[in-house]
Amino acid sequence: MPFPYKKVLVIGATSGIGEALAARFVQEGSSVIVVGRRKDKLVDFVHRHGNDKASAVPFDITELDKIPAFVTNITKTHEDLDGILINSGIQRGLDFSKPETVDLDMIQNEFTTNYLSYLALTKGFLPFLQSKSTKSALMYTTSSLGLVPLVRCANYSASKAALHHFILCLREQLKDSKISIVELIPPAVQTELHDAKHQPELENRRPMGMPLDEFTEQAYQGLAAGKEQVPVGHGQAFFENFELRRQEDFRRLTDGMKARDSRDG
């Protein structure tokens, strides 16, 4: 199934889900701009896939003040950009039963990476996408832990829950535009997100989760089909068992507020 977007910016493409999906987009005929902190990984991606199909822009999205200049550079260089996947993320363990181990700087960095940067990038790219006469997409990687939290990584779960709710509201705000708001909801996937260098308590547990190639295939099929919500693995069970019902409440609340505002106006 061909991918509907022909030039895709993949932010967080140095490894794992981002790198795998960027490679799949190229395989299916799209060109990509890969973004991440590790320049060597980006250069290697371009070398493997070719300059005609891939280009690289090293950037750290936690530097929020530099995002406007980053957006300007991307949109002026790639005026035909029609798809943006924001995939960057970090996960850290957190145990408030031992408050002396809690690192507030780490918490802030995790939340900035997983949530605040996504909002800043959305704000930055929206004027460009809104100016286009053709269809485009903002795609976001959240997590099944945004639906059902995991005690060990409480802040990560909270950041993904925040992003999930933001996406629901953003989709409603832009429903009359040509911009699709897409949420990819992975389960645990076998990537370096779980490496012991970042989470020592996970020593020797890299195999934890869905194999990356299996996840990539299911995720790609959902994205290529034009779905706006793409839960994969046990994220799909969480989504179908209760999230759809919760979104019915979101719809009722939204419609009720609109009706009230209409009466008041």
Q: Which residues of 239-256 are buried (b: 16+ CB within 10 A; e: fewer)?
A: beeebeeeeeeeeeeeee
**Where residue 198 sits, what CATH number does that domain have?**
3.40.50.720
Residue 63 forms part of a structural domain: yes
Residues 138-178 have pLDDT tens digits of: 999 999 999 999 999 999 999 999 999 999 999 999 999 99
Question: Is the pLDDT reported for residue 202 higher than 80?
Answer: no
- Dump the DSSP string for 103-119: -HHHHHHHHIIIIIHHH
Residue 77 forms part of a structural domain: yes
Measured CA to CA in angstroms, residue 171 lies from 99, 185, 220 at distances of 38, 16, 20
> Parallel, antiparallel, or unpaired for β 179-185 and 7-11?
unpaired
Mean pLDDT of 47-62: 96
Residue 209: pLDDT band with limits 50, 70, 90 = confident
Q: Give the separation between CA 64 and CA 113, rounded to whole angstroms.
A: 10
Question: What confidence score (pLDDT) does residue 194 get?
Answer: 47
Residue 148 forms part of a structural domain: yes
Number of compact structural domains in the chain: 1
**H or E segment to which residue 185 belongs:** strand 179-185
Residue 159 forms part of a structural domain: yes
Question: Is the pLDDT reported for residue 195 higher than 90?
Answer: no
Residue 2 forms part of a structural domain: no
Mean pLDDT of 92-116: 95
Residue 145 forms part of a structural domain: yes
Q: Which residue has the higher pLDDT, 260 or 104?
A: 104
Query: Could you give phi then psi for residue 182, rounded to 5 degrees?
Result: -115, 135
Question: What confidence score (pLDDT) does residue 197 get?
Answer: 56
Question: Is the pLDDT reported for residue 229 higher than 90?
Answer: yes
Residue 55 forms part of a structural domain: yes
Global pTM exceeds 0.85: yes
Residue 122: pLDDT band with limits 50, 70, 90 = very high
**Which residue range(s) make up the domain with 213?**
7-264
Q: Give the separation between CA 213 and CA 205, rounded to whole angstroms.
A: 18
Nearest to 88 by CA among 138, 44, 141: 141
Mean pLDDT value across the chain: 92
Question: What confidence score (pLDDT) does residue 236 get?
Answer: 87
Question: What confidence score (pLDDT) does residue 262 get?
Answer: 75
Helices (H) and strands (E) in the chain, counts: 9, 7
State the Cα angle at 89 between 151 and 111, rounded to 5°. 65
Q: Which residue has the higher pLDDT, 258 or 117?
A: 117
Residue 1 forms part of a structural domain: no
Q: Cα-Cα-Cα-Cα dihedral of 55, 129, 16, 24, to 10°?
A: -70
